[in-house]
Structure 1
């Protein structure tokens, strides 16, 4: 029994070996027709240069691939790989924007190998116009300068860039942005930074467009700040008949900014020249400021109010009055007063003093109750309102009272 099994097993092994040898012979010698699927063949776009010459471009270009089923003798197709096959889409004949479906051409196969089908057999492309525009560059600053400093003016070079690309994409670009950080800075910040293109919703557009320049140089001034007094710049003094009692400035101080080495030498800001020689009463003058070079005003002030309070000067004056009058003489009497010049000294505002003459001063004696005879009477002096009597001489005069001749 065991010998029989051994003999049958040997026969079986011999049969299998014979079948393999026979199959190998048939395959190698007969070479039957067979098919093969080549997957993931890269598709190249041909004619991009011609398309660009017409100011056109593909806006949905990506890494396209196709699968190709081929047929041929087994020995002819067995070693063909996807990389041996070339798949091409031609665009050189396109001359207007729009959506186009273009056939995929397959080449690179041996002549005796047949293409059974290509999947997909065509590629859909979106063609758009190529446009070029100028886009302004805006600076965006993050961080804050050192305490006591502020941001000054900035410059961007260049302040515009040219952007080229598909019309549908370029028209979305609203702004080019350069960003810098100035946190803790106490001096000018100069940086060369990349440009970001943004649409109307601040979304970045980073692909599909070409910038002539991808970097800009940004200069951001950092300025020191300081509070200084405003000083009236008096060039012509007040009229000699008046005194200035006070001058006040509103506002009294203002905040300025500039490079620290510049502000160190500035202790005040002068007004424009002020002429006071026309002022005869309290007056408010609106006047501009003289701003030193390289200094910036931080307060929204370029003019101030100067309040000038004035007083008219007092002046002492002396007038000689040559006539002494007598008042209140009794009826039936007359008087005789020898010529007696009376020197009157008084004080008053210049405008009043200047207008006083001898006729404006009353010098008199009181004759009430006097009987005929010679009387030594005190002299009185009366001045117009607003004048102050200081002295007069003589103080007395001899007055003769006698009956009238009637």
Structure 2
């Protein structure tokens, strides 16, 4: 009885061993996802398009071993040290798959990568400031300034090559009251892939009234010192003045204008070409006088 028991135990052990042997040698096919990991990247290199997160590998191998692949952290090392700027095709090298010769590689998806490669660089660019908005029709933009006027940008080299300057636009409406100046912090107009330092700059716009030039005829005044009398070659002058167009819409501005012959502190008798003073309304400037001087004859009373 004892011998029969030992014989039965041995037979069971051999059956189990045979089952494991047969099962282990059974060949099956399966798909395995294998993440792609870049190795040896040059400094600043970026892959803008074409890089996949993982490969799909179809393989054949022993059933027992294939079943354990899911528990292993298998990755495909993609060596990018040789890549150049631009578009290029990189073949997937199945010999670099982290699998032993026990497995037969049947198919890899994708089997090649069409990569668009670039490099991140920095450069300094100048800024161009502008203003956009509604403005009272009697006013105009005189100047727009930006501070700082140079910024550092960072991004793909192929894109930065095309950027020599950037625009910053201040958007503000002044349909009624127009300030002399207006200041805002404004962001740069750049592609999304490009970063700027600083990302915002100070923009200041200066505004002023629209002006035009007109000729004005004025009577000539004189204030002689006591004891003298004078005769002038003409009793009026013509002035070319520049001023706000809104001021010239009626003749009220003339009330704030005058022209008067200038007599020195030591007036003496004789004939002279004398200068004359001009008073103008606020916001106006003298462009030209006609005549420049007044022929004057001075006599004692």
TM-score (norm 2): 0.59
Within-5 A mapping of 1:187-202: 187=179, 188-197=181-190
In 2: Cα distance, 1:103 partner to 1:312 partner: 100
**1:304 maps to 2:297:** no
The separation in 2 between residues aligned to 1:158 and 1:312, in whole angstroms, is: 57
Contact residue 38 and residue 82 of structure 1 kept, 8 A: no
Structure 2 vs 1, CA of residues 171 and 102 (structure 1 numbering), >3 Å: closer, same or farther? same
Instruction: Say if 1:152 and 1:313 are closer, same or farther in 2 by CA, change over 3 A.
Output: closer
User: Offset at 1:152?
Assistant: 3.6
Alpha-carbon separation, structure 2, partners of 1:27 and 1:164: 61
Query: d(CA) in 1 for partners of 2:151 and 2:293?
Result: 60
Q: Is the 8 A contact 1:98 1:127 kept in 2?
A: yes
Cα distance in 2 between the residues matched to 1:316 and 1:227 = 44
Pairs within 5 Å for 1:53-132: 57-58=45-46, 60-64=48-52, 65-78=54-67, 80=69, 84-91=73-80, 93-94=81-82, 97=85, 101-104=89-92, 113-127=103-117, 131-132=121-122
The correspondence of residues 139-288 of structure 1 with structure 2, limited to 5 A, is 139-146=129-136, 148-184=138-174, 186-187=178-179, 188-197=181-190, 205-207=191-193, 209-223=194-208, 242-243=231-232, 245-255=234-244
Normalising to structure 1: TM-score of the pair? 0.46
CA distance in 2 between partners of 1:314 and 1:235 (Å): 12
Tell me by how many angstroms 1:177 deviates.
1.4
Maintained 8 Å contact 2:261/2:294 = no
Structure 1 residue 191: deviation in Å?
A: 2.2
Q: Distance in 2 between matches of 1:118 and 1:70?
A: 9
For the residue of structure 1 that corresponds to 2:152, the secondary structure is strand
CA distance in 1, matches of 2:155, 2:257: 54
Does structure 1 residue 35 correspond to structure 2 residue 29?
A: yes
Cα distance between partner residues in 2 of 1:116 and 1:99? 28
Q: Against the structure 1 CA distance between its residues 216 and 140, is the aligned structure 2 distance closer, same or farther, given a 3 Å change threshold?
A: same
Task: Report the Cα distance in structure 1 between the residues aligned to 2:124 and 2:132, rounded to whole angstroms.
Answer: 26
Q: Higher RCO, 1 or 2 (CA under 8 Å, sep at least 6)? A: 2
Structure 1 unaligned segments of length 5 or more: list them. 1-25, 198-204, 258-266, 318-406
Structure 2 unmatched ranges of 5 or more? 1-18, 247-254, 265-269
| Larger Cα-atom Rg | 1
Deviation at 1:34, TM superposition (A): 0.9
Superimposed CA distance per residue, residues 148-194 of structure 1 (whole angstroms, 9 cap, x where no aligned partner): 44334322122122233444322222431112211126334322222
- Mapped to 1, the partners of 2:87 and 2:212 lie a distance apart of 66
Distance 1:30 1:143 in 2: 80
Give the number of aligned pairs. Answer: 258
Contact 1:58 1:125 survives alignment (8 Å): no
Deviation at 1:144, TM superposition (A): 1.7
